[in-house]
Amino acid sequence: MSSPALSGAVAHHPWWESGVIYQVYPRSFQDSDGDGIGDLAGVLARLDYIAALGVDAIWLSPVFPSPMADFGYDVADYCGIDPMFGDLAAFDSLLAAAHARGLKLILDFVPNHSSDQHPWFLASRSSRDDPKRDWYIWRDPAPGGGPPNNWISDFGGSAWEWDARTGQYYLHAFLKEQPDLNWRNPALRDAMMDVLRFWMDRGVDGFRIDVLWHIVKAEGLPDNPPNPHWTPAQTERDKLIQRYSTDQPEAHAIAADMRALADGYGERVLIGEIFLPNDRHARWYGAPDRPQVHLPFNFQLIENDWNAATLNRIIADYEASLPPFGWPNWVIGSHDAPRISARIGEAQARVAAMLLLTLRGTPTLYQGDEIGIGPVDIPPDRIRDPQHWRQPTLDIGRDRSRTPMPWDASANAGFTTGKPWLPLNADWPVRNVDAQLADSDSMLALYRALTALRRVTRALAIGGFAMAVGDSDVLAYERWHDDDRLLIALNLCAEPRQLLLPVGVRIAEVLASTLPSHPMDGTLHGDEGLVLRLERDD
């Protein structure tokens, strides 16, 4: 049995292909000093938990010095650590301790924009003649006055901010406190490549690259065309098609340069945050002789409806879009997306965990999803996300995905001795890590069982893949490696469905289930997912 998706694949599989990545949002993981905000010492204290989860790498959301206008995605120093989180010595201790446990550490690199408090921008803003003026994107007003073009910030409002001191506008794809860097300037490019060198010299194992498809803008900065399909239910940004403000050809050359630099350090992974249709998304892999990022993040399990027909289509289309040398990847949650249990309910979130950890490719888990944190109410006076306040009628705030990790039933769930910066999930006294460690049927137990199964089952870690026939509401696919053949069958509804086996095989073993074990009678129970080992029915 062979898979077209694996044609041209090399025999060697780097760690990030067979591995599982775990995203840590440091502000909300573990507080060590009682200020209500998580920190690096807190992550260090919980490394054994992460290792026992069975993951291979930690992706650490930004911990660089920052005014925190966008909670660290407004960087004021790319080569430091914000005192809120610790210092470089604390980072080095965390890195060494992670490596000692066999864990890789991936940093969040933010190349599209800096903070408006970064020394580079302060210099750029000081005078039109400053040497760093062109490190950012400045333009004169439009001929009739007002912003230079019609571009809209991703957070709403114009993407241009007027600077009275120098009489020009500067571009910001996000908040005005996040001015866009000018990657067409060679000196800026060199400085940012030096940032990557700084951290790789320190021993980090790769980078998740924030909004990579934004980093170059079209020459001349023409107006973006209107979106004829826009409705008021969409964000203001979506009034326009971002034809000239994102995904420019020159950005691919920069990604290739980043990859060449990373490859010079050995097996360091580059993960690109890229929201694009499949055909444009796949281009970010580059070419065999000029590769770009290893993993252009694939968000389709977050962005689409949760039903068998939709998932069957997006999985098949995504696999078909990949270049022969491209390795797939999947995510079901992040600090920017609604939590999976809040979106589809806890029963189906268990099915989603099985889907994530058995599809072909690299899975990324988001902290808290492994214990099934669901809807969290954030009182108006506790809302912190600037995106909410820019477009409050859309209810798109991200705070509900960033609430603190509940560790136990002690005060503040063991997260802090102070006041948590965001509220905890309301059910934290019973939904916490300690409670789930004591429950063999918990969501956490399921995640740990699935990651353990991936480690010992090459068919899941690096094997072939093909969609299979399933009953209505059932998503089914096969995985294999050498003579080991598996069937994954996922019931995406609450009612029983028939378990359909491929012709000529029978069930040899049930390797994993989202439900407590029960006799196999040819039926998938409601909300049930199964990983089955098959054998020939001679």
Q: Which residues are designated catalytic? A: 210, 273
Please name every residue paired with 486 in a beta bridge, in sequence order, or none if there are none. 479, 533
> 496 near 524, Cβ under 8 Å?
yes
Gap between the Cα atoms of 389 and 66, Å rounded: 20
Q: Name residue 195's amino acid.
A: V
Nearest Cα to 219, choosing from 244, 242, 243? 244
Vertex 404 angle, CA 402 and 406, to 5°: 135
Kindly state the tokens that stand for 530: 């199964």
Token pair in block for residue 110: 């933010």
Crossing angle of helices 186-202 and 249-263, rounded to 10°: 30
Torsion of the alpha carbons at 148, 152, 155 and 158, rounded to the nearest 10: 40
Task: Give the pair of three-digit tokens for residue 382.
Answer: 């506790």
Report the C-alpha gap between 21 and 16 in whole angstroms. Answer: 8
Which residue shows structure tokens 């990657």? 183
Angle at 457 between CA 452 and CA 463, to 5 degrees: 130
**What are the helix (H) ranges across 391-472?**
433-437, 443-456, 458-461
In the chain the first and final C-alpha atoms are separated, in Å, by 18
Could you please report the per-residue DSSP string of 290-357? Answer: EE--SEE---HHHHS--SHHHHHHHHHHHHHHS-TTPPPEEES--TTS--HHHHH-HHHHHHHHHHHH
Name the DSSP class of 267.
S
305-308: list long-range contacts, CB under 8 Å, 24+ apart: 306/343, 306/344, 306/348, 306/352, 306/492, 307/473, 307/492, 308/470, 308/472, 308/473, 308/474, 308/475, 308/490, 308/492
Sign of the alpha-carbon torsion through 36, 38, 41, 42: positive
